[in-house]
């Protein structure tokens, strides 16, 4: 009888252990570092965490001029150009007009604006089900793209860029 009970306990432990591992495998994350562009001193980090079908993006940027700045996902994971132009235009797999996140018309890369404080530090957070990390769906997958921090604010109107000014930082969205 003790052997049967021990066997049942062992089987339950294995099942619970497997379930825990499966849940942790459902979480994907990327940690990225920005590099300065256009002779700026801008640095920072970006993280993407995907859990239960939603991706949370957090960027922490420093070295900015105080004020409002735009941040966008761009088409390419190429930050080789001194001015960040090698990252291409905004990521727009659904062929929408440029606009504000959440409006009917916006690029999947139109993250939005954030404010840098008097010391030049700023943070932005966005959670969405419109992105995925490595899922293979060309309309959602952020892998192989780039993130650009802009010198100025996005006006959410000017096509196709939002008139956000120069590119002061770049990072590739790669594993």
Q: Along the 175 residues of the chain, how does pLDDT read in single tens digits?
A: 444 443 443 343 333 333 333 345 689 999 999 999 999 999 999 999 999 999 999 999 999 999 999 999 999 999 999 999 999 999 999 999 999 988 889 999 999 999 999 999 999 999 999 999 999 999 999 999 999 999 999 999 999 989 999 999 999 999 8
pLDDT of residue 24: 53
Separation between Cα atoms, residue 148 and residue 143, nearest integer Å? 15
Please state the pTM of the whole predicted model.
0.85
pLDDT of residue 98: 93
In total, the chain counts a number of residues equal to 175
The 3-state DSSP class for residue 16 equals helix
Give the right CATH number for 27-173 from 2.20.25.650, 2.60.40.200, 2.60.40.1190, 3.40.50.620.
2.60.40.200
87 phi and psi angles, rounded to 5 deg? -80, -5
- Annotated domain spans of the chain: 27-173
């Amino acid at each position: 009888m003790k052997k049967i009970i021990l066997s049942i306990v062992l089987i339950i432990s294995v099942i619970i252990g497997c379930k825990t591992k499966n849940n942790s495998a459902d979480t994907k994350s990327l940690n990225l570092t920005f590099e300065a562009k256009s002779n700026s001193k801008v640095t920072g980090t970006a993280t993407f965490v995907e859990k239960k079908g939603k991706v949370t993006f957090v960027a922490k940027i420093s070295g900015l001029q105080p004020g409002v700045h735009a941040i966008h996902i761009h088409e390419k994971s190429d930050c080789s150009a001194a001015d960040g132009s090698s990252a291409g235009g905004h990521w727009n797999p659904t062929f929408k007009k440029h606009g504000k996140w959440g409006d009917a018309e916006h690029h999947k890369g139109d993250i939005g604006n954030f404010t840098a404080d008097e010391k030049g530090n700023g943070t932005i957070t966005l959670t969405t089900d419109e992105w995925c990390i490595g899922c293979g769906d060309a309309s959602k997958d952020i892998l192989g793209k780039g993130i650009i921090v802009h010198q100025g604010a996005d006006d959410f109107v000017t096509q196709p860029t939002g008139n956000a000014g120069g590119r002061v930082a770049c990072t590739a969205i790669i594993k």
